[in-house]
Amino acid sequence: MKRYLSIFVVLVLLIGLGSSVLAEKATINMFISMPEYSDAIHELIDAYQEVKPDVTINYETTQNDYPTLLKVKLNSGDLPDIFASTSGKEIELYKEYSRDLSDQPLMETMLPAIKEAMTDANGDGMYGIAIKGNYFGLIYNKDLFEQADITKFPETISELEIAIEKLEAEGITPFSSGFGEWWVFKHVFQHFMAAATDDVPALIQKFEKGEAKIKDYPELYDNFFRFVDLVKEHGDAKPLESSLNTEISSFATGRAAMIIGQGPWVEDSIKEIDPGLKIGFAGYPVSEDPSQSQVITGADQAVRISKESDVLPEVLDFVNWWYTSDYGKAWFADVAGVVPPIAVDVESDYAIINQGSAAVEKKGSAPLGIIYSTDAFHSAFGETMQAYVGGAADKEATCTIIEKLWMEIDGEK
Amino acid sequence: MNRKRLEKVETFLFTMPAAILVSVMIYIPFVMSAVYSLTEWNGISKAVTFIGIENFKTIFLESKQFLNVLIFTGKYTALFMILSNVLALVLAVVLVKKIKTANILRGVFFVPYIMSMTIVGFIWKFIFSQGFARLFEISEWGLLNLSWLGNGDLAFYSVVFVGVWQQLGFYIVLYIAGLQAVPEDVLEAATVDGASKVKRFFRITLPLLGPSITICLFMSLTNGLKVFDIILALTKGGPGGATYSATLDIYREAFQYNNYGIGSAKALIFFVIILILTQLVLGFSRRNEVEL
B284 Cα to chain A: minimum distance (Å): 39
Question: For chain B, what is the domain count?
Answer: 1
- Whether residue B28 is contained in a domain is answered as no
Q: Which residues contact B258 (CB under 8 A, 6 or more apart)?
A: A93, A374, A376, B42, B43, B44
pLDDT for the residue numbered A45: 92
Alpha carbons A252 and A269: distance in angstroms, whole number: 9
Chain A residues with CB-CB distance to B128 below 8 A: 241
Half-sphere exposure of B244 (CA within 13 A, CB side): 17
Chain A residues with CB-CB distance to B256 below 8 A: 67, 375-376, 379
Domains of chain A, start order: 26-133+299-342 (3.40.190.10), 136-297+365-410 (3.40.190.10)
Q: Distance between alpha carbon A307 and the CA centroid of its chain, in Å?
A: 24
Show which residues on chain A lie within 8 Å of chain B, measured between beta carbons. Answer: 1, 67-68, 71, 74-75, 93-94, 96, 180, 182, 237-241, 243, 246, 374-376, 379-380, 383-390, 392-393, 409, 413
- Whether residue B189 is contained in a domain is answered as yes
- Whether residue B257 is contained in a domain is answered as yes
pLDDT for the residue numbered A362: 87
A12 Cα to chain B: minimum distance (Å): 16
Q: Is the pLDDT of residue B290 over 80?
A: no
Q: Which of B88, B84, B249, B245 is nearest to B178 (CA)?
A: B88
Residues β-bridged to residue A98: A306
Nearest CA in chain A to B31: A1
Q: What is the pLDDT of residues B248-278, one digit of tens each?
A: 999 988 888 888 899 999 999 999 999 999 9
Alpha carbons A343 and A406: distance in angstroms, whole number: 35
Query: How is chain B split among helix, strand and coil, in percent rounded to 5?
Result: 80, 0, 20
Is B131 touching A (CB cutoff 8 A)? no
Query: What angle separates helix A182-196 from helix A375-389, to the nearest 10 degrees?
Result: 100
- Torsions phi, psi of A45, nearest 5? -65, -40
Alpha carbons A277 and B43: distance in angstroms, whole number: 46
Q: How confident is the model at residue A12 (pLDDT cuts 50, 70, 90)?
A: low
Is B147 touching A (CB cutoff 8 A)? yes
CB contact under 8 Å between B239 and A393, yes or no, is no
β A258-262/A175-176 pair status: parallel
Q: Distances in Å between the alpha carbon of B47 and those of A5, A127, B39, B42, B52?
A: 17, 20, 10, 9, 16
Chain B residues with CB-CB distance to A398 below 8 A: none
Annotate B63-79 with b (16+ C-beta within 10 A) or e (fewer): eeebeebbebbeebbeb
- Whether residue B43 is contained in a domain is answered as no
- 8 A C-beta contact, residue A398 and residue B25: no
Collapsing DSSP to helix, strand or coil, A354 comes out as helix
User: What ipTM describes this predicted complex?
Assistant: 0.74
Q: If contacts are CB pairs under 8 Å, which of residues 233-252 in chain B contact chain A?
A: 236-242
- Whether residue B42 is contained in a domain is answered as no
CB contact under 8 Å between B237 and A239, yes or no, is no
CB contact under 8 Å between B46 and A393, yes or no, is no
Give the domain range for residue B225.
Answer: 63-288
CATH classification at residue B69 = 1.10.3720.10
Q: Distances in Å between the alpha carbon of B208 and those of B123, B213, B289?
A: 38, 9, 8
Q: Which residues contact A232 (CB under 8 A, 6 or more apart)?
A: A177, A179, A239, A389
Q: How confident is the model at residue A13 (pLDDT cuts 50, 70, 90)?
A: low
Q: How confident is the model at residue B28 (pLDDT cuts 50, 70, 90)?
A: very high
Handedness of CA A151, A157, A158, A163 (dihedral sign): positive
Mean pLDDT of B159-179: 93
Q: What is the pLDDT of residues B65-84, one digit of tens each?
A: 889 899 999 999 999 999 99
Helix (H) or strand (E) holding A14: helix A2-18
Which stretches of A222-374 are DSSP H helices?
225-233, 244-252, 267-273, 312-324, 326-334, 351-363
B103 Cα to chain A: minimum distance (Å): 38
Longest CA pairwise span in chain B (Å) = 81
Alpha carbons A53 and A28: distance in angstroms, whole number: 13
pLDDT for the residue numbered A19: 47
Chain A residues with CB-CB distance to B36 below 8 A: none
A324 Cα to chain B: minimum distance (Å): 32
Mean pLDDT of B183-197: 88
- Whether residue B22 is contained in a domain is answered as no
Alpha carbons A358 and B135: distance in angstroms, whole number: 44
- Whether residue B20 is contained in a domain is answered as no
A242 Cα to chain B: minimum distance (Å): 9
Q: What is the pLDDT of residues A94-116, one digit of tens each?
A: 888 899 988 888 888 888 878 88
pLDDT for the residue numbered A94: 87
Chain B residues with CB-CB distance to A385 below 8 A: 240
pTM of the model: 0.80
Q: What is the pLDDT of residues A141-187, one digit of tens each?
A: 999 999 999 988 999 999 999 999 999 999 999 999 989 888 999 99
* A23 vs B46, more confident: B46
Chain B residues with CB-CB distance to A94 below 8 A: 44
Chain B residues with CB-CB distance to A248 below 8 A: none
Q: How confident is the model at residue A389 (pLDDT cuts 50, 70, 90)?
A: very high
B38 Cα to chain A: minimum distance (Å): 16
Alpha carbons A164 and A160: distance in angstroms, whole number: 6
Q: Which residues contact A358 (CB under 8 A, 6 or more apart)?
A: none
Closest partner CB to B152 (pick from A75, A241, A392): A392
- Torsions phi, psi of A99, nearest 5? -80, 135
Residues β-bridged to residue A258: A140, A175
Q: How many CB pairs under 8 A join A and B?
A: 78
Q: Which of A173, A195, A197 is nearest to A290 (CA)?
A: A195
- Whether residue B252 is contained in a domain is answered as yes
CB contact under 8 Å between A393 and B257, yes or no, is no
Q: Distances in Å between the alpha carbon of A188 and those of A195, A287, B259?
A: 12, 13, 27
Q: Is B146 left (phi over 0), alpha (psi -120 to 50) or beta?
A: beta
